[in-house]
Amino acid sequence: MALIAVGLDHERAPLDLLERASIPEHEWPKVLRTLVAHRNVHEAVLVSTCLRTEVVARIDFFHGALEDIARTLAEASGVTVEELEPVIRIAFDRGVARHLFSVAGGLRSVVPGEFEVLGQLRRALEVALDEQTAGEEMSDLFHRAIASGRRVRAETSIARGTTSFASAAVTLAEELLGSDLAGAQVTVLGAGQLAEGVARTLLDPGRAISSLRLTNRTPTRATTLAAALDDDRVRVVDWVDRAATSRASRLVVVAVEAPDPVLGVEDLASSSDVLVVDLGMPRAVEPAVGDLSGVRRIDIDDLRARVANALDERRDALEAARTIVEGDVEHYLAERRSRGAAGIVRDLRAHLDDVIAAELERRASELATLEPDARDVAISLVRSTVAKIAHRPTVALKEAAGSDQGVRLADATRALFGL
């Protein structure tokens, strides 16, 4: 079997398509079950974040699995296969490890080195394990990628300064507001990982905001987050009051996952001077809000453009990170080759031993008529002959392990010997 990764990300797909292709977490189990119901797909992990929707899977045949996965993503998100085809990213076999390790290392993030992606990959694997759509090999791949991502951040300066998507959003807002942020009231809509990152960044003593209003559709999550923040400036407000609270704020950060906008033109029409940062995917604030005279709206596209302009300052760190990732990938692939060869060779030898044992048992009455020495010679002759026949296939499997030819030889060996 081989590995494949199929999906969309911000490097190739436009924001509006990413927005429509995102799949909320409560639908992941259904999508995973649909994926492994296909004959070509044996294991699957779904990674769906604000700027990435992709499937990593163990498969039999490339083209059949690609069609199955693309069709499943299209059906789950409501986009068409024709829309996906021009911008879809595909990695196959060894390329899957390179892709996933690069994602974990923050090399394919809007903010290079951002930390949120590690938690997102971990959560994607957890859901797949809970749904029993991921096995030992897939789990090992994700754990090794996450470990490599941690190493990148520990051994390079890729995460220097702006270290997360949340902090990048706050930094951009701070640049736009200048001194207005000090002493201002801020509202954060949401209580998930991204919202928590935004809140903690805003509450840093260096920013000196006067108050932070926290609201979420599930009140208990907002209350739990407020307790974790442990700051007198934080106050939880009812979700139904989000519009009024937003109008009274200088900065509003929306970090929620919702099928429809949670703030619209009517909600903010009477605002006098507010900056709204929409981090939702799909977008959680109506784009037309930005046309209001008292409102400035920015979203992920603005953040992406600002980060791209700053990349030149971190090229050395990016190169160092790429070197670490490449080394970790090669180490993983070498171990995978070794495990793959050992497994198929072990299965082949066990099968041949079983054949010998069964045949000797079947002919036991005939062997019993031989003198002990002659019987031992006959048994030894059978074993040595089978070992010689198995020698060349064993060597070929070991030499080709981890390559496309190795996959074909392993599949052929399994088919020929019924392994």
The CATH fold assigned to 2-159 is Beta Polymerase; domain 2 (3.30.460)
Longest alpha-carbon distance in the chain: 106
Q: Tokens at residue 284, please?
A: 């959680």
Distances (CA, A) of 397 to 330, 338, 352, 360: 20, 10, 16, 28
Please give the Cα distance from 169 to 328 (Å, whole number): 31
- Per-residue DSSP letters for 144-158? HHHHHHHHHHHHSST
- Predicted local confidence at residue 316, as pLDDT: 77
Q: Tokens at residue 212, please?
A: 């932070």
Is the CB of residue 383 less than 8 Å from the CB of residue 391?
A: no
- Predicted local confidence at residue 402, as pLDDT: 62
The average pLDDT across 381-386 equals 89
- Predicted local confidence at residue 307, as pLDDT: 67
CATH class of 165-303: alpha beta
DSSP strands (E only) in 134-255: 185-189, 211-215, 234-236, 251-254
Q: Tokens at residue 140, please?
A: 């090992």
Q: With cut-offs at 50, 70 and 90, classify the pLDDT of residue 114.
A: confident
Question: What interhelical angle do 116-130 and 28-36 show, nearest 10?
Answer: 60
Please give the Cα distance from 407 to 198 (Å, whole number): 46
Q: Is the peptide bond before 282 cis (omega within 30 degrees of 0)?
A: yes
The average pLDDT across 178-201 equals 90
pLDDT at 277 > cutoff 60: yes
SS3 402: coil
Residue 316, amino acid: D
pLDDT at 411 > cutoff 60: yes
Name the strands in the sheet holding 52-59, side by side, starting at the edge strand that comes first in the sequence: 41-49, 52-59, 2-9, 89-92
DSSP strands (E only) in 136-191: 185-189
Q: Using the CB atoms, write b or e for 76-112: b if 16+ within 10 Å.
A: bbebeeebbeeebbbbbbbebbbbbbbbbbbbbbbbb
- Predicted local confidence at residue 338, as pLDDT: 67
pLDDT at 207 > cutoff 90: no
Please give the Cα distance from 11 to 6 (Å, whole number): 14
Please give the Cα distance from 169 to 136 (Å, whole number): 37
On average, the pLDDT of the chain sits at 88
- Predicted local confidence at residue 311, as pLDDT: 58
SS3 91: strand
Is the CB of residue 413 less than 8 Å from the CB of residue 390?
A: no
Burial group, residue 31, by CB count within 10 angstroms (0-12, 13-18, 19+): buried
Q: With cut-offs at 50, 70 and 90, classify the pLDDT of residue 397.
A: confident
Q: Spell out the long-range contacts of 393-401 with Cβ–Cβ below 8 A and sequence spacing 24 or more.
A: 393/348, 394/345, 394/348, 394/349, 397/341, 397/344, 397/345, 397/348, 398/341, 398/345, 401/337, 401/338, 401/340, 401/341
What are the catalytic residues? 50
SS3 266: helix
Please give the Cα distance from 285 to 271 (Å, whole number): 15
- Predicted local confidence at residue 370, as pLDDT: 87
The residue ranges of every structural domain in the chain are 2-159, 165-303, 350-378+407-419
- Predicted local confidence at residue 295, as pLDDT: 94
Please give the Cα distance from 253 to 275 (Å, whole number): 8
